[in-house]
Chain A
Amino acid sequence: MNSTILWMIIGMGIVTYIPRMLPFVALSGINLPPFFQAVLKNVPYATLGALIVPGIFTIHEDLWFGIIGAVVAFGVAYLGANVIVVVISAILALSMYSFLF
């Protein structure tokens, strides 16, 4: 194994691990002010919004891929389906789309 690559991988691992680990350890047992707690409770939903858009529209040069994927996923999820069903429906819809076009 190339030693430069090895050190690079270790370095990448360390700088990735620190932001993941630090809040769990540093904030362990600490009660944050209520406003910060409320903001941190909002974070998952805001993150999901940012993770979905605009990313979902860039999965393929053909913009319809993203649009169809988004519409099917939202529709199936809205009907109350389990996450796995949402994922499989979106994959099937796009398989059919690329098979037909």
Chain B
Amino acid sequence: MTTTLVMKRPSEFRQGLQSGIAIAIGYMPIALTFGLLAKTTGLSISETVLMSMIVFAGASQYISLSLLAIGTAAFEIILATFIVNIRHFLMSASLNEKAEHDHPFKKALYAFGITDETFSVAATKEGTVTTGYLFGVTSISYGSWVVFSGIGHAIGASLPSTLQEAMSVALYAMFVGLLVPSMKKHRKVVILAAFAAILNTIFIQVLSVGWSIVLATVISACVVELVSQKLGKEGQNHE
């Protein structure tokens, strides 16, 4: 039985590529628009593609454009980037618990591809995630991001507006699609997500997006854990 399972299963890398398709689709409209905005901000096509290749973080790349447009100094843009992306620290720490044990060098390589989306796909996968799987998910996402940034700049347009508007839901729908199966299985997941959603809605009124998500996530994850452990002592198993 073990052999047939192994035989039938596509390689971990290919499985990762497949799981990453939803991300690749979702990145398309955002990357096209990024390319277009970069062009109007005055970046050359090589600068645009290089930024997508080296930074690979949607929100902060958008922010850098709006800061460049108002003449902000490079140092401040770098600082803003750091603040927006500090949330990945939490995601990597979480994924590291779930990732297959491997050489730190390989981990440092796929770590480059950790985004909100690749993290969400990998972290909601059942069981351990292998190095091959992580390389699969991150490479298809990275490819989509870089290629469509370039295309957006080259053709100087994004998708037709109706499609562009409809596609703006893609990544959110993907997050929902990743979350719901676990919500159906564990009530704890429902509470974790709902609590963080409420906190984020409140925090975002006063904090930047990056900090708001970090704070909402940490508070929800800790409080729900404390409460469920306390309740778990009364009953037997909380998981």
Q: Give me the interface of A with B, judged by CB distance under 8 Å.
A: 1-2, 4-13, 15-17, 19-25, 27-29, 32, 35, 37-56, 59-60, 65-66, 69-70, 72-74, 76-78, 80-87, 89-92, 94-95, 97-99
Contact in complex: A22, B92 (CB < 8 Å):
yes
Q: Is B147 an interface residue (CB 8 A)?
A: no
A91 to B157: give the CA distance in the assembly, Å: 20
A76 to chain B, nearest CB (A): 8
A15 contacts B96, C-beta separation under 8 Å:
no
CA distance A5 to B57 in the complex (A): 17
Chain A residues closer than 8 Å to B163, beta-carbon distance: 95
Asked, given contacts A39-B221, A50-B199, A50-B200, whether A59 binds B179 with beta carbons under 8 Å apart, the answer is: no
10 example contacts (A-B, Cβ-Cβ < 8 A) are as follows: A9-B54, A16-B81, A42-B192, A43-B91, A51-B116, A56-B172, A77-B179, A87-B22, A87-B177, A90-B172
Q: A73-B173, A82-B177, A84-B22 are in contact. List 13 more A-B contacts (CB 8 A).
A: A5-B43, A5-B47, A12-B51, A20-B89, A20-B112, A24-B104, A25-B107, A48-B193, A54-B197, A77-B181, A84-B25, A87-B26, A91-B166
CB-defined contacts of B181 to chain A, threshold 8 Å: 77, 80
Taking a contact as CB atoms under 8 Å apart, the answer to whether B225 and A8 are in contact is no
Q: B151 an interface residue at 8 Å Cβ cutoff?
A: no
Known: A78-B184, A91-B167. A1 touches B46 (CB 8 A): yes
